[in-house]
Structure 1
Amino acid sequence: MAGRGAGRRSVEEWQPVCRMVELEVDRGVTALVHGQAVALFRTADDEVYALVNHDPWARHAGSGIARWIVGHRGDVWFVGSPAHRHALDLRTGRCLDDRHVAVTTYPVRVIEGVVLVGRRSDAPAGRAPGR
């Protein structure tokens, strides 16, 4: 019995979201994953990253990062806010300009061309600015 339950849990941990070809390069999209709004980003090197779709500098709910600009500094891919002039590392969710700020990230797998997103990682160690 334990084997069957463990297998089911493993499948439930990874939610299929879309096909890789449906994600535009260097663009973000929002998806509902495990009941949470998640921003997905596909980079030019065909890596896919998932972060909580929440602007840590916004003073009201509903502001997301999916429409921010994707770029890189050296070998670090980031998503940057044109309004706040800050960037979040797509791998870790940490702000590249203020190490005290971070957002939650989600693990991503691409299997047979399908993007799967896992349950969110532990809450980031950062803080929201101004709070």
Structure 2
Amino acid sequence: MTILLDTTWRTVCAVDDLEPNWGEAALLGDRQVAIVLVSEDEVYAIDHHDPHSGAPVMARGIVGSRGDRPTIASPLHKEVYDLGTGECFTDPSLVLRTYRTRVVGGSIEVELAS
């Protein structure tokens, strides 16, 4: 049996409000989400809480890449996560929650399951 969750796209901010390769935190309902602009057409949304410590710090992580995969490193313990999948390169037991994003009319939207 497949259970489908209702999803809602939430407008977060304008693309122009963000700096490339830098994260910003957003409160979407009761969720803290970090938005990371890699380029004008490449935006990622991840959980703002560090999977290792639980601290809300991921928007201040170090943005980089592993090959062609964009990454963010936790500012606390330096674990490196794939921005697209949430996979942790440095500790496979950790996973960073990711959210789908889209750009509509110059605004960034994040998909949240209800």
Which residue matches 1:36?
31
Q: Given the two structures, how large is their TM-score scaled by the length of structure 1? A: 0.75
Question: Aligned in 2, Cα 1:98/1:68: closer, same or farther, shift over 3 Å?
Answer: same
Alignment of 1:21-60 (within 5 A): 21-44=16-39, 46-58=41-53
Matched, 1:105 2:102: no
Query: Percent identity among equivalent residues?
Result: 38
Query: Is 2:13 aligned against 1:15?
Result: no
Provide runs of 4+ in structure 1 moved above 3 Å: none
Structure with bigger helix share is 1
Structure with a larger share of its residues in strand: 2
Q: Which moved more, 1:106-115 or 1:79-88?
A: 79-88
Over the residues paired in the alignment, what is the CA RMSD in angstroms?
1.8
Deviates more, 1:40-49 or 1:93-102: 40-49
Moved more, 75-84 or 33-42: 75-84
Unaligned runs of 5+ in 1: 1-8, 121-131
Deviation at 1:81, TM superposition (A): 2.4
Name the count of aligned residue pairs. 108
TM-score, normalised via structure 2 length: 0.85
Unpaired runs of 5+ in structure 2? 1-5
2:80 match? 87
Further displaced range: 104-113 or 79-88: 79-88
